[in-house]
Chains A and B, each alone.
Chain A
Amino acid sequence: MNPMNYNRRAFLKAGVALAATPWTNVWAQPIVIGKDPKVQRTLILLELKGGNDGLSTVIPLQDPLYLKFRTNALVEPKDAIRLDPTHGLNPNLKSFARIFNEGNMAIIESVGLPNRVRSHFRATDIWHSANLEKAGAAPGWIASLGDLAWRKRGSEAVVHFGRDPLNAHRSATRSFLAIENPAHFALLGAGPENFEKAKPKGKARRHKLGSGQASALERIREIQDSARHESLRIRAATAGYRTSVVYPKTPLGSNLRDIAALMNIPVGAPPRVLSTTSGGFDTHSRQKNPHDRLMTGLDEALGAFMQDLARTPIGRNAVVLAYSEFGRRVQENGSQGTDHGKGGPSFVFGHNITGGIFGQAPNLADLDDGDVKYSTDFRSLYSTLIEDLFDCDSKRVLGAKIPKLGFLS
């Protein structure tokens, strides 16, 4: 250890220990089955980028039209994992099936955007802003929720791991931590590292700064102090995290492991919202094998994550929402793939949720211009989370009263 770093480390340790106090005994707390009002509830967002093919994820076991529309890009109903007489899961979703049967997973059927959008870009903007007209020009829904639910907390309340930070977190007034690689979230170089030691001596030259610059400097110092603090906290939590749960060695696996670390390690108050993304779902051609691999990757990572979250009260109180910007067309295209469609299933996981199947299953005999009709407004996922997870007025975040779903009741 470089002795020049001693002061900074001592300073940071003191800061981290202070922030950690309410959570230090998180491992000692008995795990309460059912909701524990004393434990913070955390939301974890997982965005499946590209538009997941819902009909190869949740399989309609009894709809004869399924096999008419699909010849290659499908899961044979006989291969699917049976959840009930009409619903099956892609056979690669073994952990999903286990979690579903434990009552810890909700499938929300036919989720979609009220307006017809087939561009990834635009659809993603709408998901993130929950604003049908202004989309990308409106603030993100998580940022708006932050103004109500964790107004006094700083950027550490929302942490995104990996690429493509969600615009859901963005607004002109709130910031969040976007970390591609936590190991690199460190102020490096001998100059900046050792500057803490240089205490000013002697008399200052007498000059005054302009009022604007003086207050800007004040604010930047706060950001930089918080950065040094968060840097060590997040690096220490992620690098030092130990678990016997085996995560797949994929970007999603390691991002979910880092999320679990921030939840499970008693270093400061855990974030209120964590997020990450997983890509590759834009399967326009020869879909079957790549999609099966996507399902396997998702299943292994989320299976491990859920097992890991079960270890602490705060982990057990967390809710995971996995969604994709749209579903895919019902009719397979000419290259054994599927094009951009409309409605598709979303998934909610958590040890304290109401599991089961919500919303209407796709009716392949009654399509909307060749797409699964959306019957669940995507904003009802949000209104449920805002009201039942964060105890806030969803109308103030979404601008409209959107009926809730039952997965948190």
Chain B
Amino acid sequence: MNYRKYIWQGMVLGGLLGGAQGQGTQPHENLKPVRWTPIQVEHLLNRAAFGATSAEVRHWHEAGQQALIDSLLEGGEPAEPFEFTAHRADRKGLFGANTDQRQKEAKRVRLLNRAQIIEYSAWWVTQMMHTEDPLRERMTLILHGWLVSGSKKVKQSDYMIGQNQLFREHGLGNYGELLAAIVEDPAMLLYLDNNTNRRRKPNENLARELMELFSLGEGNYTEEDVRQAARALTGYTVRGDGFAFSKKQHDQETITVLGYSNTMDGEDLVALLLEQPACPRYVATRLIEEFEGFAPDEERLQVYAKLLVDGDYEIKPFLRHLFSDPAFYRPEVVGAKIQSPVDFMIGSSRRLQVEPDAKFLSDAVSVLGQTLMNPPSVKGWDGGYAWLTEASSILRSNVIGAMIGQVSNTDLREGMSEALELMDEMMEEASDKMDGDMAKPKARGGPLAKILNQVRRQKLTVRVPVLDWLNLQKVTKDTEIARVLLDQLLAVAPAPDTERRVTQFLKLGRKKMNIKEGKMAKTPERSRILLMQTVHLILSLPEANLE
């Protein structure tokens, strides 16, 4: 595709954004070297992959920064693709059917589609856990939350899965090609109502998001541009098993968008958007936000926007530069990003060196607020502190506790009686004035009960090789054990006090359970109980939410 199709009024982007780089060297080779300690290693693996075990961090520390960046960008063996089916109502079979039969058939298809989305989500989290191409999966997840469609509205699971495969395919490819593909993507066309965008009755939804969220960002186009751009996308619809272009519904008159007038279809419109100076700036900002946690300053933004222009929107050179950039490893960035539910569940499982059931993992991620294949709105997930509310911070600790066998239905019941006792104590005076009866606390219902029942019924508790870590590192003292466990389980460095408090927790626990310091190996069963409580508390620390 030729992005230089529309050069007008001297708007040559390369010229606008500054001079060319020195001949012969790649731009990233001019960057200052990064001090490569385990902190930087883990930082890159947290943000570009899905976290790492202590052993992996040690490996890449020795292998060096370039080796890790090469490995991330080149990836490994591609995974077997997910095989999926298009589930459609049996139209022929419904010929002459009554309403009841039609509704039955609609329900059958709805359930099949829902089941396929559940299966695909489980397949996807398995990829995130084990793929040899983690950066590709990371980009797939980023694009899923950026060029959003959701199965609740799209309904056809094959379209949703097809769109996800498109992200996987282009995620380390070319953003321009991806945009051109997305305006012909059936899931996107349905999600943003472009199937009702007709010549005489345009629907602006896709055109608006294409400009606001996918290419230019707010403020870089007018409402009139949106109305005009919508005309370029008329007739882009979905029929039978995918994308269809209805020539009859397509507006073939001259359209004026962003100061340029011509007849236009979707591909022309995308090419025109990519030529706007706002576009590389917007795309660079989004990408850096995803990996660093917030937007870049103007100086770096110009560098990265130019990288996109010079590379015709190729994503790999952009990311190679970013991961080589000392600014990516600066103190404001490292360890300062709130883990998404995906990062919390997948990253923690990887660091715990356990293999949870894939459906359980995707359910847990969903319960914590990130339902894969169904983001809450066209804006995707808000991310950052929106992930961490009072309710979700407690739920994170309980859900991961359920997975490692530290939280059970019994704990729930005890928690309820604790609340009642406390109420009695606090309310002695006031409760005299409250007449009437108490309701029975609800044991059932709610996300935690769902997770706990799933774990109990399907015996999903995983066994954490906690004693192996201690044996391998040959540590026996409380301080050393605390250090090893924190290092193994957190994606970031612990606060100074944290290590001392975990040490103190181990000491108190040992006393209560009558285990002598340095003698854990002699009572492995009792020690394991204490160590697993420690593992759980580490996963509920403030640090456990950061990457």
A: residues with CB less than 8 A from B are 1, 5, 9, 12-13, 16-17, 20, 24, 26-28, 119, 121, 125, 133, 136-137, 155-156, 167, 170, 172, 175-192, 194-195, 197-202, 204-207, 209-217, 219-221, 223-224, 226-227, 230-232, 235-237, 239-245, 247, 251, 254, 257, 264-267, 284-285, 333-335
Contact of B449 among A17, A181, A219 (CB under 8 A): A181
Give the residues in chain B near A244, CB-CB below 8 Å: 435-437
B269 CB, min distance to chain A CBs, angstroms: 20
A212 and B378: CB pair below 8 A?
A: no
Q: With A212-B336, A239-B441, A240-B424 as given contacts, are A178 and B434 in contact (CB-CB < 8 Å)?
A: no
Give the residues in chain B near A194, CB-CB below 8 Å: 505, 508-509, 533, 537
Query: Which range holds the interface residue count of chain B?
Result: 35 or more
A162 CB, min distance to chain B CBs, angstroms: 9
Contact of B442 among A186, A224, A254 (CB under 8 A): A254
B330 CB, min distance to chain A CBs, angstroms: 8
Q: Which of B152, B497, B501, B503 has the most CB of A within 10 A?
A: B501
Q: What are 30 of the A-B contact pairs (CB < 8 Å)?
A: A1-B421, A9-B422, A137-B378, A170-B376, A175-B389, A181-B444, A181-B445, A183-B412, A183-B415, A184-B449, A185-B391, A188-B401, A189-B398, A190-B533, A191-B401, A191-B537, A195-B540, A200-B504, A206-B496, A211-B332, A212-B334, A224-B393, A224-B542, A227-B391, A236-B426, A240-B424, A242-B434, A243-B434, A247-B439, A257-B439
Interface residues in B386-440 by Cβ distance below 8 A to A read 386, 388-391, 393-394, 397-398, 401, 406-407, 411-412, 415-416, 418-427, 429-431, 433-439
Q: Which of A182, A209, A226 has the most CB of B within 10 A?
A: A209
Q: Is B165 an interface residue (CB 8 A)?
A: no
A137 to B427, CA, bound (A): 44
A244 to B433, CA, bound (A): 12
Known contacts A188-B407, A227-B393, A285-B103; 6 further A-B pairs (Cβ under 8 A): A186-B418, A201-B504, A216-B336, A235-B415, A243-B435, A247-B439
Q: Is B153 an interface residue (CB 8 A)?
A: yes
Give the residues in chain A near B386, CB-CB below 8 Å: 172, 175
Q: Is B535 an interface residue (CB 8 A)?
A: yes
Q: Once A and B bind, how many residue pairs between them come within 8 Å at the CB atom?
A: 287
A237 and B533: CB pair below 8 A?
A: no
Q: With A27-B434, A137-B379, A188-B415 as given contacts, are A195 and B389 in contact (CB-CB < 8 Å)?
A: no
Q: With A16-B426, A239-B420 as given contacts, are A183 and B437 in contact (CB-CB < 8 Å)?
A: no
Q: Is B95 an interface residue (CB 8 A)?
A: no
Q: Which residue of chain B lies nearest to A218 when distances are taken between CB atoms in the complex? A: B542
Give the residues in chain A near B208, CB-CB below 8 Å: 133
Give the residues in chain A near B390, CB-CB below 8 Å: 155-156, 175, 177, 223, 226-227, 230-231
A177 and B447: CB pair below 8 A?
A: no
Give the residues in chain A near B437, CB-CB below 8 Å: 242-244
Give the residues in chain B near A26, CB-CB below 8 Å: 430
Q: Is B493 an interface residue (CB 8 A)?
A: yes
Give the residues in chain B near A197, CB-CB below 8 Å: 505, 508
B542 and A207: CB pair below 8 A?
A: no
A257 to B425, CA, bound (A): 22
Q: With A220-B546, A243-B437 as given contacts, are A198 and B391 in contact (CB-CB < 8 Å)?
A: no
B423 CB, min distance to chain A CBs, angstroms: 3
Q: With A192-B536, A241-B438 as given contacts, are A136 and B430 in contact (CB-CB < 8 Å)?
A: no
B77 CB, min distance to chain A CBs, angstroms: 35
A224 to B503, CA, bound (A): 21
Q: With A235-B416, A243-B434 as given contacts, are A219 and B385 in contact (CB-CB < 8 Å)?
A: yes
Q: Main secondary structure on chain B at its contact with chain A?
A: helix
Q: Is B166 an interface residue (CB 8 A)?
A: no
Give the residues in chain B near A13, CB-CB below 8 Å: 422, 425-426
B536 and A5: CB pair below 8 A?
A: no
B493 and A209: CB pair below 8 A?
A: yes
B502 and A198: CB pair below 8 A?
A: yes
Contact of B438 among A180, A183, A211, A242 (CB under 8 A): A242
B406 and A187: CB pair below 8 A?
A: no
B436 and A199: CB pair below 8 A?
A: no
Give the residues in chain B near A211, CB-CB below 8 Å: 331-332
Give the residues in chain A near B441, CB-CB below 8 Å: 183, 239
Q: Which residue of chain A lies nearest to B333 when distances are taken between CB atoms in the complex? A: A212
Q: Is B545 an interface residue (CB 8 A)?
A: yes
Q: Is B338 an interface residue (CB 8 A)?
A: yes
A209 to B407, CA, bound (A): 31
Q: Which residue of chain A lies nearest to B367 when distances are taken between CB atoms in the complex? A: A180
A213 and B496: CB pair below 8 A?
A: no
Give the residues in chain B near A184, CB-CB below 8 Å: 398, 412, 415, 446-449
Q: Which residue of chain A lies nearest to B437 when distances are taken between CB atoms in the complex? A: A242
A180 and B446: CB pair below 8 A?
A: yes
A198 and B508: CB pair below 8 A?
A: yes
Give the residues in chain A near B497, CB-CB below 8 Å: 200, 204
A170 to B401, CA, bound (A): 28
Contact of B334 among A177, A213, A235, A240 (CB under 8 A): A213
B501 and A200: CB pair below 8 A?
A: yes
A401 CB, min distance to chain B CBs, angstroms: 20
B335 and A210: CB pair below 8 A?
A: yes
B534 and A191: CB pair below 8 A?
A: yes
Give the residues in chain B near A257, CB-CB below 8 Å: 439
Give the residues in chain A near B445, CB-CB below 8 Å: 180-181, 251
A249 CB, min distance to chain B CBs, angstroms: 9
B172 CB, min distance to chain A CBs, angstroms: 27
B534 and A27: CB pair below 8 A?
A: no
Contact of A210 among B332, B389, B426, B534 (CB under 8 A): B332
Give the residues in chain A near B406, CB-CB below 8 Å: 189-191
Q: Which residue of chain A lies nearest to B436 when distances are taken between CB atoms in the complex? A: A244
B413 CB, min distance to chain A CBs, angstroms: 9
Q: Which residue of chain B lies nearest to A234 when distances are taken between CB atoms in the complex? A: B419
A213 and B438: CB pair below 8 A?
A: no
Give the residues in chain B near A333, CB-CB below 8 Å: 99
Interface residues in B291-337 by Cβ distance below 8 A to A read 293, 330-337
Q: Is B80 an interface residue (CB 8 A)?
A: no
Give the residues in chain B near A220, CB-CB below 8 Å: 338, 388, 393, 542, 545-546
